[in-house]
Structure 1
Amino acid sequence: MRIDIATLFTDMCDSVIHESIIGRGIKNGHIEIYSHDIREYTENKHRRVDDKPYGGGTGMLMQAQPVYDCISAIKSQKEGRPRIIYMSPQGEVLTQKKVQELAEEPWLILLCGHYEGIDQRVLDELEVEELSVGNYVLTGGELPALIVADAVARLQPGVLPNEDAYSIESHYNGLLEYPQYTRPEEWHGRKVPETLLTGDHRTVTEWQNREALRVTARKRPDMHKAYIDRKMSEFWQEFLEAKGLPQNTTYAKILRMGQDEEISAKLVKMILRGKKRAFVSRCVSVSEVPGRGEYAVVVDWDGIPRCVLKSVRAQMIRFNEITPEQVLKMGEDDNIGDWLRKYRDFFNSTGEFTEDMPIIYEEFRLEYKGAKK
């Protein structure tokens, strides 16, 4: 891949792109990055590249001619059609998804404005696309161009040691990265999580995935919601295709069971193993009783879909009307006495409770466990 940066400050750009990881990538031939001085293409004997804007206003505007000639000279150095990007606060805001898109291009030209910007005519002539690194204004396009160059370059094969070096990082898969720790094992009374010291690759990976979800939920709830929504959509689509169901088939509810992570994991495991075939929930209205054949998606404690259930029987009953047979179908207890004690505590902890309060008793069939990855 080749990246060209058209700028008034080549020394500034060169001092960054030839250092550290990107510098080594250039040296080892994994990517080409060049900076070009727009001032070298001016026809003004004083090497001026700017002038006052028509209509008045504060500041100076970069002229069309030197910008156009600089970009034209860059284009003449290589066959093909480059993607020309003008770094501008008016452009699309840069995201990791956009970086991945740009990383697939064979050739990028990054145009850096300065002063009050660039004459609109040359931007139109060059058919540039505009890209911003955030909703704020800088004195020039050099820093944004360097951000884009760095973000794109590190995704090129060979620049980083392997794909894992970037595929597990924040934003790449829609999540922030999990917390990282190094030696010593204890510092200022703070210890490295024990899971990371086990050496069990599967357990460590599960911890990393779980923590990435929780870090994202805490720091970027918008990203977390988008990730969960995408996972749910993908999971439901897999279910429809696996069962040959119409695309307009929908699920009636999402179920997250249990009061905490440990109980939730236990209940999900029981459902997946076929040991739990019924559950109860608080009932406010008869309209809440699910109809026969309705689908529900069971998610784990972190909101990731794990399986699809299909309701086969549901009814509203009183808490004190539960039967031993129904308790056994719920799979959590061997006798009704233990179940009553546990669920009295549960309903007391989640709202008002009376012995004759209405609850929904629902039996279900496990329809789908999810495709094996």
Structure 2
Amino acid sequence: MDEPKSPPQRSHGRKTMRPTLVPRDLMEDAPELASVWKAQVITLLPEAFPGVLGLSLTGRALKDGLWQLETVPLRQFGEGKHRNVDDTPAGGGAGMVLRPDIMADTIDHARVRIAPMAPLIYLSPRGRPLTQKLAQQLAAGPGVTLICGRFEGLDQRVIDHYDIIEVSLGDFVLTGGEIAAQAMIDAIVRLLPGVLGNEASTEEESFSDGLLEHSQYTRPAIWRGMEIPPVLMSGHHGEIAKWRRAQSEDLTRDRRPDLWEAHQARRKTD
């Protein structure tokens, strides 16, 4: 006697969808999308991407096509059997320098795949600081091509020839530009429409108006003997706004006198 057939599974005949453990799959075979903000990354470590950008809100937005990410492996344009991309510094010194001819070939290949108005940025400790204002400017554009430095840096002639903008994450040195590139892309992508889902959150956070953000609280109302400031529980929105503004000003004055001076200067000219 034949055994009874088991009922067909609900997914029978359909493509099974399951979460991936490899965020890089978000970048594989992705179609080119018109009018979508795009980040190109020239790097010796393409396997480092998307990294944290493939997770949480940025990863969801990448999957949903709200932005695109493309790596351009520098090594594929290298020279010789070992695909060399660097050489010793002219004038002597420690370390190696990325060669201008190799980098130029890589840049020329990359730039035809992105909008002409997208800026070319080199992540460098000697660059201008990455600020919220710069992130907002870049988010308003078509995208960006980022160059991740390695070794002792990039031949200056390439920077001059392509009018490359140098941007720094801060007054410290990393082993390469990949971490800085991911931080910069994250700062930009979260400003793109639809990524956060709450446009007001980007208007009230630190640096949005030149000040640090006020302190935040949530339930429980009393935790380890410490209460939420009563004004936040009052329901009086005008008083809450005044309290938050005062908090922002006090924090900025105390922790970032440079920002406070710039804020005061802007108020005098307004």
Structure 1 length-normalised TM: 0.60
Alignment partner, residue 200 of structure 1: 236
| Residues 42, 65 of structure 1: 8 Å contact kept | no
Offset of residue 179 of structure 1: 0.4
Alignment partner, residue 80 of structure 1: 116
Q: Structure 2: which 5+ runs fail to align?
A: 1-36
- Please, which of 145, 151, 154 is the counterpart of residue 109 of structure 1? 145
Alignment partner, residue 229 of structure 1: 265
Alignment partner, residue 50 of structure 1: 86
| Residues 67, 189 of structure 2: 8 Å contact kept | yes
Offset of residue 222 of structure 1: 2.6
State which drifts further: 39-48 or 165-174: 39-48
Offset of residue 65 of structure 1: 2.7
Alignment of 1:20-169 (within 5 A): 20-169=56-205
1:288-337 Cα shifts (integer Å, max 9, x gaps): xxxxxxxxxxxxxxxxxxxxxxxxxxxxxxxxxxxxxxxxxxxxxxxxxx
Offset of residue 79 of structure 1: 4.6
Alignment of 1:321-340 (within 5 A): none
How many residues end up aligned between the 2 structures?
234
Output the CA distance in 2 between the equivalents of 1:20 and 1:206. 33
| Residues 88, 132 of structure 1: 8 Å contact kept | yes
Letter in 2 for 1:148: M
Alignment of 1:347-366 (within 5 A): none
Letter in 1 for 2:188: V
1:129-181 Cα shifts (integer Å, max 9, x gaps): 11111122221111221121111111111111122111111111100000001
| Residues 129, 170 of structure 2: 8 Å contact kept | yes
| Residues 87, 113 of structure 1: 8 Å contact kept | yes
Letter in 1 for 2:72: H
Alignment partner, residue 21 of structure 2: none
Letter in 2 for 1:94: L
When you count strand as a share of all residues, which structure comes out higher? 1
SS at match of 2:50: helix
Alignment partner, residue 216 of structure 1: 252
1:169-204 Cα shifts (integer Å, max 9, x gaps): 111110000000111111111110011112232222
Output the CA distance in 2 between the equivalents of 1:225 and 1:15. 37
| Residues 17, 33 of structure 1: 8 Å contact kept | no
Alignment partner, residue 18 of structure 2: none
Letter in 2 for 1:34: E
Output the CA distance in 2 between the equivalents of 1:63 and 1:2. 26
SS at match of 2:192: coil
Output the CA distance in 2 between the equivalents of 1:53 and 1:225. 41
Output the CA distance in 1 between the equivalents of 2:259 and 2:117. 34
Larger of the two Rg values belongs to structure? 1
Alignment partner, residue 189 of structure 1: 225
Q: Does 1:6 align with 2:42?
A: yes
Structure with more relative contact order (C-alpha pairs < 8 Å, separation 6 or more):
2
1:27-75 Cα shifts (integer Å, max 9, x gaps): 1222112222111222322122112122211011112233222221111
Q: Structure 1: which 5+ runs fail to align?
A: 235-373
1:251-278 Cα shifts (integer Å, max 9, x gaps): xxxxxxxxxxxxxxxxxxxxxxxxxxxx
SS at match of 1:149: helix
Output the CA distance in 1 between the equivalents of 2:133 and 2:100. 31
Letter in 2 for 1:110: L
Letter in 1 for 2:48: M
Alignment of 1:284-363 (within 5 A): none
RMSD: 1.6
Output the CA distance in 1 between the equivalents of 2:228 and 2:117. 51
Structure 2 length-normalised TM: 0.81
Segments ≥4 residues shifted beyond 4 Å: none
